Amino acid sequence: DVPMTRKIDDLVISLACKYGTPIGYVQEQNGRLVQNLFPIKSTENEQISSSSKTELYLHTETAFHPYLPDYLILYCVRGDPAAATTYADITDIIEHLSTKAQSILRQPRFITTVDLSFRTEGEEDQEVLTSIISGSNANPQLKYDASVMRGTDDIAQAALDELTSVIPLCTRDVILNTGDALVINNKTTIHGRKPFTPRYDGTDRWLKRVLVRTELPKDC
């Protein structure tokens, strides 16, 4: 139903505008402001939003990008009770990290590469040097994606491994049903998804996603 889909898109954009400016990236879904997320057979085992049969690991959205989104909005058009969205917040995670690991994670000693969703046309991968924890001690921020990140040395990798090991202690689930909207702070909360079995018959889980920035780059 095209009119209904447009009405939903308008609704999600309206919600997104309460948090900032909806954005898109030309390399991902051709820069669409409202992205459709549903299982695709060719990527069902990949670390990408169109996967299904594998767990989508907890991650910061577009962690490699210099202008990553501040928020993402997930609106459920059609749910699947098996496909729980998972999430964990930095304020919980940091309580389980050693002081040494926290210090190392604040240093630019980590490499992240480019998400598969930005390389669907066979684009060359790239490496970006980054820290993982930033912000003040009172208001820490997190940039994390285990599937594309690694330490630049053994000490950095050990700190990243410690972070990865404590994240499950802080992970929560939420089931999105039809009409539910979930707003995720991309600076403080990592998110993922549990595996589910798609049918590929037009009745699978379907989300609308909008990415939001509170401030736009000066050249936009």
- Identify the pLDDT of residue 220: 60
The residues facing 4 across adjacent strands are none
From CA 8, how far away is CA 169, in angstroms rounded? Answer: 35
77 near 8, Cβ under 8 Å? yes
Tokens representing 67 are: 């202008």
pLDDT recorded at residue 116: 79
DSSP state of 172: E
The C-alpha atoms of residue 57 and residue 45 are separated, in whole angstroms, by: 12
pLDDT at 147: 87
Going residue by residue through the chain, which has 220 residues, state the pLDDT in tens, using 9 for 90 and above: 678 889 999 999 999 999 999 999 988 888 899 999 999 999 999 999 999 999 999 999 999 999 999 999 999 999 999 999 999 999 999 999 999 999 999 999 999 998 877 887 778 889 999 999 999 999 999 999 988 999 999 999 999 999 999 999 999 999 999 999 999 999 999 999 999 999 999 999 999 999 999 998 877 6
pTM for the complete prediction? 0.93
For the record, the structure tokens of 195 come out as 């595996």
User: What's the pLDDT at 118?
Assistant: 84
Q: Is the dihedral of CA 150, 153, 155, 156 positive or negative?
A: negative
| Cross-strand pairs, 73 | 183, 210
Helix (H, G, I), strand (E, B) or coil at 64: coil
